A and B are shown apart, each in its own frame.
Chain A
Amino acid sequence: GAGVSQSPSNKVTEKGKDVELRCDPISGHTALYWYRQSLGQGLEFLIYFQGNSAPDKSGLPSDRFSAERTGGSVSTLTIQRTQQEDSAVYLCASSPKETQYFGPGTRLLVL
């Protein structure tokens, strides 16, 4: 079946602009995660959605970052007033229970 999809695959923006990144999880997966991977680094947890529960936002690095998940499916990660240090690959994962399945990521470059 279809895996996790993310869009856009690449995004170049200017410092100070807002960006929206989209994640379509695997159908039926109740859990959805966002991670960030800077060049040559491991993955950094950002936010976690589980069903209708309040999301775990404890990994968001600043109040410029927010995310929502509509209808328990698609999720959007928004970064306001982007900074150069926001440049990274943003990865989304979904999970039916324990194992997480990752999308291809969005490569964000802030100039």
Chain B
Amino acid sequence: GIQVEQSPPDLILQEGANSTLRCNFSDSVNNLQWFHQNPWGQLINLFYIPSGTKQNGRLSATTVATERYSLLYISSSQTTDSGVYFCAVTSGSRLTFGEGTQLTVNP
């Protein structure tokens, strides 16, 4: 099946710093989503982004489908950004998730 790799596995930032999270996938995909799992376990949709670039406030994402990667940018990070960021790709009917990036933003 399709493989999804995320990097880095862990990231610690000071409030206000910027960061880039990466997602590589092994095969062509129908779509790609980025999620944030907050410390209470709730998964929140950030982006549906099979290709191109999208921005939402301090977050933006870029997917280069032909090169099989996606990037999530977090600017001016806040403590509320802490949690796990998952990349998930669809091949067929299912979402396959990466192992996530654990982000900690310190005040």
Chain A interface residues (CB < 8 Å from chain B): 33, 35, 41-45, 48, 50, 56, 58-59, 89, 91, 93, 98-102, 104-105, 107
Contact = CB atoms under 8 A, between A and B. Distances in A.
16 contacts: A41-B99, A43-B95, A45-B95, A48-B93, A50-B93, A56-B94, A91-B43, A98-B90, A99-B48, A100-B33, A100-B95, A101-B45, A102-B44, A105-B41, A105-B42, A107-B41
Classify the secondary structure of A's interface with B: strand
Nearest to B88: A43
Contacts of B86: 42-43
User: Which of A33, A42, A89, A101 has the largest count of B CB atoms less than 10 A from its CB?
Assistant: A42
Interface of B: 30-31, 33, 35, 40-45, 48, 86, 88, 90, 93-100
A42 B45 contact: no
B95 A33 contact: yes
Contacts, number: 51
A40 to B, nearest CB: 9
A89 B40 CA distance: 12
Nearest to A105: B41
A59 B100 CA distance: 20
B99 A42 contact: yes
User: Which of B35, B42, B94 has the largest count of A CB atoms less than 10 A from its CB?
Assistant: B94
Contacts of A45: 94-96
Given A43-B97, A45-B96, A59-B94, A104 B88 contact: no
A67 B30 CA distance: 25
